Copies of this chain bind each other. A is one copy, B any other.
Amino acid sequence: MSMDAVFKALADPVRRELLDALRERGGQTLGELCEGRAMTRQAVSKHLAVLEGANVVATEWRGREKLHHLNPVPIQEIADRWIGKYERGRLAALADLKLRLEGETDG
């Protein structure tokens, strides 16, 4: 599974809103996810396809309705494997930054 696809999927505010909506209530149809959004059904559908391609959303057909579910695993993996690196180096980086910036202003 490509981490790049997940990062790219999260880069759009509309898609992050869709994820939020699915986190609040799973199993929503395309029509439901379109409500209150100032764009066409096709636009929302494309965004959902990107999310599905990044494996952040899983879908299921029930009759003619397509139900959407959040899959939190890839987001969690980014937190653990990628952001975690910056957590570990955080103090060192901040100390480095602080030193440099103080050096700037002090002399």
Nearest 6 interchain pairs by C-beta: A11-B11, A26-B96, A79-B83, A72-B86, A72-B90, A70-B93
- Tell me if A30 counts as interface (CB < 8 A to partner B): no
CB-CB < 8 A to A86: which residues of B? 19, 23, 70, 72, 75-76
Chain copies in the assembled complex: 2
Task: Tell me what chain A mostly uses at the interface: helix, strand, loop, or mixed.
Answer: helix
A69, B96: Cα distance in complex, Å: 8
Give the contact-size bracket for chain A: 35 or more
- A97, B76: Cβ atoms under 8 Å? no
Contact A60 to B100, CB < 8 A, known contacts A10-B7, A75-B83:
yes
- B13, A4: Cβ atoms under 8 Å? yes
Of residues 78 to 107 in A, which have CB atoms within 8 Å of B's CB atoms? 78-79, 82-83, 85-87, 89-90, 93-94, 96-97, 100-101, 104
